[in-house]
């Protein structure tokens, strides 16, 4: 996926260029136009620039978008032309129609040479007119660029090290950490940047560095005294973020630094993918998205503790664009267990119950073993049993690991276990752990219901052969046959005609499903 990210980055850069400076030909034209000096600078025509300066044209004449010659010289990182324009009296504080000054462009480029020129010309690094994109000061822009020399110049000139942009409330240290610019992180720490600062969403520099997967930035922040167990408002710690994003090396570093493997956290979008520092064009920013508004509250989770997350995330895929983690799950699980992770620790935070989805049978109260069963990961199930996992710990709804393995919370777009793997997990529970195939959950469902949700005929047959009942009626009125026939429950309960056929062949009865069987049923309706 790296090429996708590169293409996207190039796209954003192109949009930023258009937003900040405009495109070729946006001036008033060549022949005698007031903006001809800006036009020549944009073209990189130095002969024309020298000629026009000799004719004493208006050096600050702007193109239609407000860009002056100095804007273009700085943007193109042309230190020679920049020097010429400054000596000729170019306005260093001019802003284009988007509020972008030459100094902001120099900072965004991370150009130490041009930053030095503009500072020598009297630019105030803390002048708010040089802040762009929701108050990103030149120091913030340089932090994102990763250019140490330019950063040092700004700090020496008195730039506010704790300045925040207003959109996400991120500081220069957060930007540098989020981008993995270790030398800049080191410099900011040395200059006294607040390592415990929080963004609008409650993320610290350490959380940003962890989400990025920057080993050097994480180590620098920990060495400076960053709290390894600092939590976002949703409960997420750096250890949980490292696990969720598959940063194995960081898991080891954080555990060795004393991270608590039993802290439960959240799974908001920011935890998974949103803590990334990327320049956003004004057009996008104006859509109104705000970390603080949408991500800064404690809410339900599907990952729980780091141990549960390590089991779950390695087998859970919504889409490759959202999350697709490739990690040695066995190694990470062992590391967590050997550092004190509670093998039988349970989720306590309420998982979202999305209307119309199979996740109405949520995993609150689930252990890591339950998550392993849910994705039919027999290898992990056995590993956890070796470390003392209790297979008789159920969820708060009394969903058993057997039900989870059979498919009680299954969704076709998330888990990729084959039917053979599912059957192996079911057999492990029944034949080795003595699981009761007739057990009924608090909402009236059985393992047979679960197999019908998944449409796994081999599991249906196996459960039947083990004595499972065919006609248990759940609180919503549904039997396994009714489930296999397909139910009007959002768009995720597809029919499985082959499973319905098998159930009928085995003797399942046609039991009418009472109202509100055909409607979306809430948990409150079920109880």
So what's the pLDDT on residue 315?
A: 64
Q: Which residues contact 212 (CB under 8 A, 6 or more apart)?
A: 177, 178, 179, 180, 275, 276
- Other CB atoms within 10 Å distance of the CB of residue 5: 10
So what's the pLDDT on residue 516?
A: 56
Question: Whole-prediction pTM value?
Answer: 0.82
> Can you give the three-state secondary structure of 135-169, one letter per residue?
CECHHHHHHHHCCHHHHHHHHHCCCCCCCCCCCCC
So what's the pLDDT on residue 278?
A: 40
So what's the pLDDT on residue 72?
A: 95
Per DSSP, helices labelled H in 325-456 are 329-338, 368-374, 378-386, 401-406, 419-427, 447-454
For the stretch 77-94, pLDDT in tens is: 999 999 999 999 999 999
So what's the pLDDT on residue 155?
A: 98
How far apart CA 453 and CA 487 sit, in angstroms, is: 10
**Could you confirm whether domain 1-159 is CATH 1.25.40.20?**
yes
Q: Please tell me the total number of residues recorded for the chain in this structure.
A: 527
For the stretch 324-338, pLDDT in tens is: 567 889 999 999 999
Residue with tokens 């004393």: 258
So what's the pLDDT on residue 326?
A: 73
Burial (CB count <10 Å: 0-12, 13-18, 19+), residue 43: middle
How far apart CA 199 and CA 190 sit, in angstroms, is: 21
How far apart CA 138 and CA 127 sit, in angstroms, is: 9
pLDDT < 70 positions in the chain? 1-32, 266-303, 314-325, 350-362, 409-416, 487-493, 515-527
So what's the pLDDT on residue 32?
A: 53
| Residue-wise DSSP of 84-129 | HHHHTT--TT---TTS--HHHHHHHHT-HHHHHHHHHTT--TT-GG
User: What's the angle, vertex CA 385, arms to CA 379 and CA 389, rounded to 5?
Assistant: 130
So what's the pLDDT on residue 297?
A: 34
How far apart CA 397 and CA 442 sit, in angstroms, is: 5
């Amino acid at each position: 996926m790296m090429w996708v990210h590169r293409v996207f980055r190039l796209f954003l850069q192109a949009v930023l260029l258009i937003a900040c400076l405009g495109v070729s030909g946006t001036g008033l034209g060549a022949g005698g136009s007031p903006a001809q000096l800006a036009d020549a600078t944009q073209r990189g025509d130095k002969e024309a620039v020298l000629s026009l300066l000799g004719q004493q044209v208006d050096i600050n004449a702007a193109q239609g978008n407000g860009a002056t010659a100095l804007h273009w010289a700085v943007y193109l990182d042309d230190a020679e032309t920049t020097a010429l324009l400054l000596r000729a009296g170019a306005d260093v504080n001019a802003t284009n129609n988007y509020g972008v000054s030459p100094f902001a462009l120099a900072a965004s480029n991370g150009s130490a040479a041009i930053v030095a020129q503009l500072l020598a010309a009297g630019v105030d690094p803390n002048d708010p007119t040089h802040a762009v994109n929701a108050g990103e000061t030149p120091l913030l822009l340089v932090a994102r660029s990763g250019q140490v020399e330019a950063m040092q110049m700004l700090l020496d000139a008195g730039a506010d090290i704790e300045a925040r942009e207003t959109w996400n409330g991120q500081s220069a240290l957060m930007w540098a950490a989020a981008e993995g610019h270790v030398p800049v992180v080191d410099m900011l720490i040395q200059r006294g940047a607040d390592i415990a600062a929080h963004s609008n969403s409650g993320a610290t520099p350490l959380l940003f560095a962890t989400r990025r997967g920057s080993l050097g930035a994480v180590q620098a922040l920990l060495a400076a005294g960053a709290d390894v167990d600092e939590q976002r408002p949703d409960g997420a710690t750096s250890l949980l973020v490292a696990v969720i994003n598959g940063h194995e090396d960081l898991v080891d570093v954080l555990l060795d630094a004393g991270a608590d493997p039993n802290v439960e956290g959240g799974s908001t979008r920011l935890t998974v993918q949103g803590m990334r520092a990327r320049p956003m064009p004004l057009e996008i920013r104006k859509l109104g998205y705000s970390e603080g508004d949408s991500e800064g509250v404690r809410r339900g989770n599907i990952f729980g503790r780091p141990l549960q997350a390590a089991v779950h995330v390695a087998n859970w895929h919504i889409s490759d664009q959202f999350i697709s983690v490739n990690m040695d799950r066995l190694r990470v699980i062992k590391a967590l267990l050997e550092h004190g992770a509670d093998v039988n620790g349970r989720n306590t935070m309420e998982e979202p119950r999305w209307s119309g989805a199979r996740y109405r049978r949520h995993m609150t109260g689930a252990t890591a073993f339950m998550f392993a069963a849910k994705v039919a990961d027999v290898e992990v199930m056995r590993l956890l049993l070796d470390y003392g996992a209790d297979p008789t710990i159920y969820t708060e709804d009394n969903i058993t690991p057997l039900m989870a393995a059979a498919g009680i919370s299954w969704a076709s777009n998330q888990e990729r276990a084959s039917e053979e793997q599912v059957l192996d997990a079911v057999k492990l529970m029944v034949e080795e752990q003595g699981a009761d195939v007739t057990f009924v959950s608090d909402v009236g469902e059985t393992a047979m219901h679960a197999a019908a949700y998944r449409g796994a005929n081999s599991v249906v047959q196996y459960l039947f052969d083990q004595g499972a009942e065919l006609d248990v009626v759940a609180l919503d009125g549904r039997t396994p046959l009714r489930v296999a026939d397909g139910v009007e429950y959002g768009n995720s309960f597809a029919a499985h005609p082959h499973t319905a056929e098998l159930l009928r062949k085995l003797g399942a009865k046609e039991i009418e499903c009472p109202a509100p069987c055909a409607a979306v049923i809430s948990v409150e309706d079920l109880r």
